[in-house]
A = this chain, B = another copy of it.
Amino acid sequence: MSILRVALAQINPTVGAIESNAEKIKDYALRANARGAHIVVFPELALTGYPPEDLLFKPQFLRDGSSRIARLAEQLPPEMAAIVGFADRDKRAPSKIFNAAAVIHQNRVAVVYHKQNLPNYGVFDEQRYFTPGESSQVLIIQNGLIGLTICEDIWAPRGAADDEARQGARLILNLSASPYHAGKSEDRLQMLRERVKETQAIFAYCNLVGGQDELVFDGSSLFMSEEGRLLAMGRAFEEDLLMQDIPWPPALINKPLGERKAVQFTSLPLNLPSPSTAEEPRPPAPAAEDVEEIYSALMLGTRDYVLKNGFQKVVVGLSGGIDSSLVACIAVDALGKENVIGVTMPSRFTSSETRGDAEELAKNLGIEFHALAIEPLQDLFLKSLDPVFRGKPRDLTEENLQARIRGVLLMALSNKFNWLVLTTGNKSEVSVGYCTLYGDTAGGFSVIKDIPKTLVYRLSRWKNRKSPPGPIPESVLIRPPTAELRPDQKDQDSLPEYETLDGIIRLAVEEDKSLDEVVRQGYDEKTVRAVFRMVDRSEYKRRQAPPGVKITPRAFGKDRRMPITQDYRESTDRS
C-alpha cells in the first residue's frame, strides 16, 4: 500500500490573461511538487479564467490557449500529474469548443476530458459556448482508479461521477468555478455528501478563487471522505494549496455496472514515492459568521475588480450615511487606507451632523478626505435651465440634479487622478430605482448593489463590533436613512420601512413570487403593488448601472435578465 498525495491548487487567475495564468499554474505545480504531491488539480478553466464569455468566440484565443497548454506540459515536472482546466477546440470541427481538463504527465498531454453537463441558468451561459463531452474519463494510477469531473458534472444525481464509480473509481476529482452567494457553501457540502453516498468515493473538489465582474469565487476547496466526512478545507476568499494523502490503491468495492454513457480509461505511469515530508493536517476552520463571510466576499470582489482593471486607488462619495460608510470600510480593508479617497459634497440639505459624520469616518479610517460644495453649481444649473423651465414647480428634477453634480465631480476626480469611483447604492434602492441615474449610480464598481439595506446595517454593526468602537460613527447607525435631497427628507417618505421593503424584494425579485403570493405572506397589498411597480419601472436604471458583487442567490445583472420594455400586469383573474 502506497500513498497518493493530491494537491488542490485554488488559484486566482485573470480572465483572458493566458500567459500570466499559465505562469501561476506552473508556479503552483512546482510548489505542489516540492511538497511531494503526485497529482495537482487546478480549477475549471484555470488557464482562461472563468467565465471568459465571448472571448471564446475568438479562434485565436482558443489557439493561444491550446498552444500554451502544450508548452505548459513541457514546463511541468514530468513525474507528477497536473489536471488543468482550459478551453479545448475540436481540430476537425473548430466550431465545437469544450470546457476541458488536460491531464498533463511526463511532459505531454496524456488525455483531455470534456465537461458533459453544461449549466445554462442563472449567471451561466455555457450552452452558448460549449459542446457537451460524450464520455466520462477514468485515470488508472498504480491499480487505483480516479474519475475526472468538471463543476456541474457532479451537481445532478447519476452523472459522470456515478459512471466513473461504477467502473471502479474510488477517488473523484472535480475542477470547479462555483460562484459565491451567501449560503452556497452549505449547498455545496450537501451536494457533495449526496454524491459521496451515490458513489462511495472520496471527492477532491478544487474551486476557483477571485473576483470577476459580478462574480466572486470563494475557493474553499475540500476533500471529503467516502463516508462524507470533511477531511480538509482550503481557505475562503484567498489562494491556497490544499494537500491530502490518500492510501493507494483504494480497496475495490462492488457496484452494479449501469448502462451509462461511454467511459474512457487512461493509464498514467505514475510512480508513488512516499512523500519525504509529512503534511500538516488542515481540518476545516469553524464556519465564519454569515456577515463576516459576506464582508470578505465584498472585499475580494472589490479588490479584484480594482486591481485586475489596472487601478490602484478608489474614490468614494461620503454622504455621512450608512451605505457610503460601509463602502469606504470595505474599500480600506480591500485596498489599504492609502488607496482610498473620501469626498463629501454637501448641499443646503446636508445637515451638519451628516457632514460631520462623513469627516469623522474618514478620520477613523485614516483616508485622504476632500470637501466640495455643490450649492453654487446647483444654483448655476437652475439659472441656466430657467429659460426652458420657465418657473415650473420644483420636483424630482432638482433632487436628481444634486446627485448628478456629485457624479460629475467624482468622475472629474477619477479622470484627473485615475481613481476608480466606487458607487454606494444598496440592493433595496437599486430594486425600486431609489437612486439617480448618472448621479449616485455613476462609477466603476457598485460594491453593495446586491446587499439589501437591512443587511447593510448588519454588516456595518459587525464591522464596528470587530474592533470596538469601530470606524463608523454611532450616529450613522441610528439616524433614520435620508437621501438629503430636499428639506427634512427621509427614505421612508417614499419607501416602505426597509424591513418590509427587503422582505417584499426577496419574494418578488429573488423568488419570482406573484403579487398575490407576496400579499398572502402578510404584506399590505397597496405596498406590495407599489413595490412591484417600482421594480418593473426601474429596469432601465439597473441596465446602465456598474457591476457589483453577487451576494444573494439572485442578483441583478446577468443573473436576472428582464426586458426594459415590458408591460406585464399580473392578471387579477385567478381562474
CA of A376 to CA of B384, assembled, Å: 9
Tell me which residues across on chain B come within 8 A of A372, comparing CB atoms. 384-385, 387-388
Instruction: Name the interface residues of A441-481: CB closer than 8 Å to any CB of B.
Output: 442, 444
Tell me which residues across on chain B come within 8 A of A389, comparing CB atoms. 416
A137 to chain B, nearest CB (A): 25
Tell me which residues across on chain B come within 8 A of A575, comparing CB atoms. 67
B380 close to A562 (CB less than 8 A): no
CA of A409 to CA of B405, assembled, Å: 10
A53 close to B395 (CB less than 8 A): no
> Given that A381-B409, A384-B376 are contacting pairs, would A516 and B60 also be in contact in the complex, using a CB cutoff of 8 Å?
yes
Of chain B, the residue at the smallest CB distance from A562 is B54
Of chain B, the residue at the smallest CB distance from A370 is B388
Q: A96 at the A/B interface (Cβ < 8 Å)? A: no
Stretch in A9-17, A35-43, A492-500 touching the partner: A9-17
CA of A388 to CA of B54, assembled, Å: 40
B409 close to A571 (CB less than 8 A): no
CA of A58 to CA of B397, assembled, Å: 34
CA of A332 to CA of B164, assembled, Å: 65
Tell me which residues across on chain B come within 8 A of A516, comparing CB atoms. 60
Q: Per-residue 0/1 for A406-429: is the Cβ within 8 Å of any B Cβ (1 yes, 0 no)?
A: 011101110110000000000000
Of chain B, the residue at the smallest CB distance from A211 is B565
A57 close to B567 (CB less than 8 A): no
Q: A261 at the A/B interface (Cβ < 8 Å)? A: no
Q: A158 at the A/B interface (Cβ < 8 Å)? A: no
A567 contact from B17, B120, B388, Cβ within 8 A: B17
Tell me which residues across on chain B come within 8 A of A567, comparing CB atoms. 14-17, 20, 308
Of chain B, the residue at the smallest CB distance from A210 is B565
Stretch in A121-129, A173-181, A224-232 touching the partner: A121-129
Q: A162 at the A/B interface (Cβ < 8 Å)? A: no
Tell me which residues across on chain B come within 8 A of A411, comparing CB atoms. 400, 404, 437-438
6 A-B residue pairs with CB within 8 Å: A17-B569, A58-B568, A59-B512, A380-B380, A437-B442, A544-B545
Of all A-B residue pairs in the complex, the 9 with the closest CB atoms, nearest first, are: A16-B568, A60-B514, A16-B566, A397-B415, A17-B567, A64-B571, A438-B438, A15-B566, A397-B416
Which A residues are within 8 Å of any B CB, using their own CB?
14-20, 49, 51-55, 57-61, 63-64, 67-68, 120-121, 125, 127-128, 211-213, 304-305, 308-309, 370, 372-374, 376-377, 380-381, 384-385, 387-389, 392, 395-397, 400-401, 404-405, 407-409, 411-413, 415-416, 437-438, 442, 444, 512, 514-517, 540, 543-547, 560-571, 573, 575
